Amino acid sequence: MSVLVADHIEKVYADRSILRGADLRVEKGERVGLVGPNGCGKSTFLKIMGGVEAADGGAVRTRGRLAILHQNPVLEGETVADAVAPALAWHKDLMGRYQAALESGDMVAAGKMQDQLDTVGWEVGHKLDALLHQLGAPPRDAKVAGLSGGERRRVALARALMDAPDILLLDEPTNHLDAETIDWLQDWLLNYGGALVVVTHDRYLLEAVATRIVEIDDGVAISYDGSYADFLIERAERRAALQRAEDSRLAMIRHEAEWASRSPAARSTKQKARLERLDELQAQRPLKQEETFALNLKTGLKTGQTLLEMHGISKRFGDRTLFRSFDLSLLRGERIGVLGPNGAGKSTLMNIIAGRLEPSSGHITVSPKVKVAMLDQHRTGLKLTDTVFDAAGDGNDQVKVGGEWVHVAGFLKRFMFPSHHQDQLVSLLSGGERARLLLARMMLQGANLLLLDEPTNDLDLMTLRVLEEALLTFDGSAIIITHDRAFLDRVCTSILKVEEDGTIMRYESRLQVREAEAAQAAAKRAAAAAEKGESEKKAAHKAAKAEKRANQKRMSYKDKKELEAMPGRIEELEQAIEDLEGVLADPATYRDRADEVADLNKALAGKQDELAAAYDRWEELEALAEG
């Protein structure tokens, strides 16, 4: 059963046709990934299906309730609670209908609604609080006016998920989420029972979640069954077939045009059909060629191996310490990814390296030949009142690329900014277009140390691949904050993880980070279980104390000596336990001594058992002494 039908949707902006008859049919429970290059109309199509924007032609039909997250959500109301209130309207309506059914005596209807309420919960406020917390969104009493762009998106995402819709439309839901939250969101979407249409650059999420991929290509929607990996193969085959057909059409046009120009018979009525066929061939819509660009970040860097050294770097804001005593030696060719929860200090660390912030302690040494360029997550560095042409050339007509002077217009065309877009104001560019313009400027700067803060946000999949290839062949170094898991796995040579206690640990890969996190979580669970078991043991010891006293015997000289030595014995065991717990709580243990973790846990359990037995014996000896 189709729950969403978009029939021949058309949308035109000025003289540009974005959608020219796009069709989409989504079945109940289906999860569709919507892909295509920046500017192809993905977000526009999503907003039209969500009722946020009107189409110039065609119609949309939906069955059931629909919720949408678009790239620039609007939050209404004074507080977060006001902003998310619409997401609870369905529950309030269900409660009202249930009460009305009871009052009217319709027990059948009331019973059905009671079953629904038993399933979804009679009170959902706590679920909303949990969802806001899980997404890293501000609490319900936070003021909307004071929220950052990322916080607004997280609140809007919580509102869409909490709405429990039959149809969920999400435009770049992973933007501004940390890696752990993206994993949670992926699991949530896998268990979601409604229909989903998602626009995302997160390839792992697409591969895991989507049951079908739909590509917006030249204004129409092309559907591919299967996963994202299946789509890549089938799309390549389709494009090859279309190119062969286009080559054949052009060859036939050339052949028929030559015949028509040189043959007197072409002007006779007998050849009218052949001329009409030529007209038809020429009138057919040509195959739109795929747009791409080349990004060469190489600078010919010849300096030594070490580009940057950081010693004892700490940063405090008031009473809060973000990180402490951080050391780093950055070698040429290294590409280091930075992970950590939102607010942990990742961007602060990047700004310290860029010289935009001073550390609270420590110092940084940069090689004399190193030139630093930074792409921050807010895409600053562009004047909104500049045109694209002026922004690329800083007001000049010529720019130097690879040692040669080229015209700005030609340079911009390499980055998919055709002539008619070069007079556009920067303020009117999409997030992806601004990122592409900043990448072009970065290429002109010739920087050999790149600081990239969330570079994948707003980029389409093609631009992501271009950036990945450029970084893989880059002869300098890069430090990259990103939660794009595929990007981290392919590009980064090591990972820095900002821990909750302010330490920054270095790992070989994102997989090693996950293994360490899993081991730490297991250690915490084991410690909690051991603490619970210890409490139960102490209760049993106390209950057995009376029985032990009833069976008291006279204290021997040996018992007396043992009692005197017992405090020292217990102190030794407690110190040993404390030392082992410290080792197991250190993330470095799981990185450098992973093969010893099982033995360390076993030793800890043994010492805990010895301590419990020592306490038992101490009580027994004290009882003998009192008797």
Q: What's residue 115's pLDDT?
A: 86
* CA distance linking residue 191 with residue 337, whole number of Å: 30
Q: Which pLDDT band, with edges at 50, 70 and 90, does 579 fall under?
A: confident
Q: What is the mean pLDDT of residues 26-50?
A: 93
Q: In the numeric block, which tokens belong to residue 430?
A: 């999409």
Nearest to 456 by CA among 473, 481, 429, 490: 481
Q: What's residue 481's pLDDT?
A: 94
**Predicted confidence (pLDDT) at residue 232 exceeds the cutoff of 60:** yes
- Please provide the distance, in angstroms rounded to a whole number, between the alpha carbons at the two ends of the chain: 82
Q: What's residue 429's pLDDT?
A: 83
Mean residue pLDDT across the chain: 86
- Give the model confidence (pLDDT) of 161-197 as tens digits: 988 789 999 999 998 888 888 999 999 999 999 999 9
Q: What is the mean pLDDT of residues 18-24?
A: 94
- Give the model confidence (pLDDT) of 294-327 as tens digits: 788 888 877 668 899 999 999 999 888 898 899 9
**Predicted confidence (pLDDT) at residue 556 exceeds the cutoff of 80:** no
Count other Cβ atoms within 10 Å, centred on residue 382.
17
Q: What's residue 592's pLDDT?
A: 77
Rounded to the nearest angstrom, the gap between the alpha carbon of residue 280 and the centroid of all alpha carbons in its chain is 48
SS3 for 235-283 is HHHHHHHHHHHHHHHHHHHHHHHHHHHHCHHHHCHHHHHHHHHHHHHHH
Q: What's residue 431's pLDDT?
A: 77
**Predicted confidence (pLDDT) at residue 8 exceeds the cutoff of 80:** yes
Can you state the angle between helices 89-104 and 107-120, rounded to 10 degrees? 150
Q: What is the mean pLDDT of residues 587-606?
A: 79
**Predicted confidence (pLDDT) at residue 534 exceeds the cutoff of 80:** no
* DSSP symbol at 602: H
Nearest to 117 by CA among 141, 145, 97: 97
Superfamily (CATH H level) for 306-507: P-loop containing nucleotide triphosphate hydrolases (3.40.50.300)
Q: Which pLDDT band, with edges at 50, 70 and 90, does 267 fall under?
A: low
* CA distance linking residue 577 with residue 614, whole number of Å: 14
- Give the model confidence (pLDDT) of 374-400 as tens digits: 988 878 888 999 999 999 988 888 988
Among 46-50, 220-224, 531-535, name the one with the lowest average pLDDT.
Answer: 531-535
Beta-carbon contacts of residue 226 (< 8 Å; ≥ 6 apart): 211, 212, 213, 234
Superfamily (CATH H level) for 519-626: Valyl-tRNA synthetase, C-terminal domain (1.10.287.380)
Q: What's residue 72's pLDDT?
A: 81
Q: What's residue 303's pLDDT?
A: 63
Q: What's residue 352's pLDDT?
A: 94
Q: What's residue 531's pLDDT?
A: 76
Contact 31, 4 (CB under 8 A): no
Among 39-53, 156-170, 353-367, 589-603, name the one with the lowest average pLDDT.
Answer: 589-603
Contact 516, 592 (CB under 8 A): no
**Residue 218, Ramachandran bin (φ over 0: left; ψ between -120 and 50: alpha; else beta):** left
Q: What's residue 264's pLDDT?
A: 58
- Give the model confidence (pLDDT) of 450-478 as tens digits: 999 988 888 888 888 989 999 999 989 99
Q: Which pLDDT band, with edges at 50, 70 and 90, does 596 fall under?
A: confident
Q: What's residue 546's pLDDT?
A: 55
Q: Which pLDDT band, with edges at 50, 70 and 90, does 548 fall under?
A: low
**Predicted confidence (pLDDT) at residue 550 exceeds the cutoff of 60:** no
**Predicted confidence (pLDDT) at residue 220 exceeds the cutoff of 80:** yes
Specify the domain boundaries for CATH 3.40.50.300 within the chain. 306-507
- b/e sequence 64-73, b meaning 16+ C-beta within 10 Å: eebbbbbbeb
Percent of the chain exceeding pLDDT 90 equals: 35
Q: What's residue 549's pLDDT?
A: 53
Q: What is the mean pLDDT of residues 601-621?
A: 84
Q: What's residue 394's pLDDT?
A: 86
Q: What's residue 1's pLDDT?
A: 82
Residue whose entry in the numeric block shows the structure tokens 């004071």: 146
Q: What's residue 272's pLDDT?
A: 73
* CA distance linking residue 264 with residue 258, whole number of Å: 12
Beta-carbon contacts of residue 214 (< 8 Å; ≥ 6 apart): 24, 32, 33, 34, 35, 221, 222, 223, 224
Among 205-209, 255-259, 476-480, 507-511, name the one with the lowest average pLDDT.
Answer: 255-259
Q: What's residue 94's pLDDT?
A: 85
More confident position, 257 or 307:
307
Specify the domain boundaries for CATH 1.10.287.380 within the chain. 519-626
Burial class (CB in 10 A: 0-12, 13-18, 19+), 267: exposed
